[in-house]
Amino acid sequence: MALMEAESGLCGDCGLPLVETTAADNEFAYDASITKCHACLAGARRVAAHQEEGGKTEGLKVSVFRRET
């Protein structure tokens, strides 16, 4: 996966072109926003509870679903 990202020339995190985002002149050219996804938060809470119960996270996959109301 890392090889594919490097070959594509895109940052693996933000998806923007590395040739642009790594240029020294662009150090302060970007801004960011934060959004909380409540579905991802539910998944993170479940993983934290699993760890607190002594569960291991290796190979763990989390399925998030909307509760029935």
The answer, yes or no, to whether residue 69 has pLDDT greater than 90, is no
CB 60 within 8 A of CB 49: no
Q: For position 5, what pLDDT does the model report? A: 56
CA distance 62 to 39: 11
- Is residue 24 domain-shared with residue 46, that is, in the same domain? no
- Same domain for 22 and 52, yes or no, is no
Q: Which domain holds residue 2?
A: 1-32
Report the predicted TM-score, pTM, of the whole model to 2 decimal places: 0.60
Q: How many domains does the chain have?
A: 2
| pLDDT tens, residue by residue, 9-66 | 999 999 999 999 999 999 999 999 999 999 999 999 999 999 999 999 999 999 999 9
Q: Are residues 28 and 42 in the same domain?
A: no
CA dihedral over 56, 60, 62, 63, signed as positive or negative = negative
Judge if 28 and 40 occupy the same domain. no
Q: Quick one: 44 and 67 in the same domain? A: yes
Do 23 and 52 belong together in one domain? no
Spatial separation of the C-alpha atoms in residues 62 and 33, rounded to whole Å:
25
Q: What pLDDT is recorded for position 37?
A: 97
Q: Do the beta carbons of residue 51 and residue 43 sit within 8 Å?
A: no
